[in-house]
Chain A
Amino acid sequence: AQKITQTQPGMFVQEKEAVTLDCTYDTSDQSYGLFWYKQPSSGEMIFLIYQGSYDEQNATEGRYSLNFQKARKSANLVISASQLGDSAMYFCAMREEGGFKTIFGAGTRLFVKA
């Protein structure tokens, strides 16, 4: 069965520094997709970045990059040059090939300090 584990309930980072949010996953499928979403205090779910299991390059989107280590089944999110507006909950998620069900982790709450 699919499972997403985010072991950091909360993280603090100084403004302008980089931060890594951990995510490990479990699946028996060879083909799957990994996603990160941001949920600010207003509650909406904002898509940040996607990594396919067969993608050889790590995904990047602006200040977000995904450190994908397939053998270790990890998909950590790296946020560079943190900003105060990055303070939010961050969810790692996964969907298998042909799948429709996105499985979410429990989330990591990030606090950016001025």
Chain B
Amino acid sequence: NAGVMQNPRHLVRRRGQEARLRCSPMKGHSHVYWYRQLPEEGLKFMVYLQKENIIDESGMPKERFSAEFPKEGPSILRIQQVVRGDSAAYFCASSWSRGRGTEAFFGQGTRLTVV
């Protein structure tokens, strides 16, 4: 049973380009979460999605960032017109349910570097 798969592991983009990060949740998981980790900091919640629905995006920057989790295929975190401050590790997690005791399984992260 494969874990949460994120790709690419490393992504380099020039300022102004678009970055697309992919996340395939664990089999049977319909809840997906995206987090961002700046250097030497903890993870910060960005967005929570279920299939075809954005449930909460309170942690997403208002501009340039979007996320989707289509009926078929992986969840995508999209960053348009990247800037140097977007350089970070982006983690995806998935769970079979939600709630205080539901363990979220994390992917290995995508490290985005904006040059």
Contacts and interface: CB of A to CB of B under 8 A. Distances in A.
B99 interface: yes
B89 interface: yes
Contact of A47 (B44, B56, B105): B105
A88 to B, nearest CB: 14
Contacts of B35: 102, 104
A50 B41 contact: no
Interface stretch (A14-22, A29-37, A64-72): A29-37
Contact of A95 (B41, B59, B100, B111): B100
A47 B101 CA distance: 13
Interface string A76-109: 0000000000000001010111111111111100
B91 A98 contact: no
Interface residues of B, number: 30
A11 interface: no
B12 interface: no
Contact of B101 (A52, A93, A105): A52
B42 A97 contact: no
Interface in B66-109: 89, 91, 93, 98-109
Given A33-B101, A97-B99, A99-B98, A43 B111 contact: yes
B55 interface: yes
Nearest to A52: B101
Given A44-B109, A46-B106, 13 more contacts: A4-B42, A33-B102, A43-B109, A45-B106, A53-B100, A97-B100, A101-B48, A102-B33, A102-B43, A104-B42, A106-B41, A106-B42, A107-B41
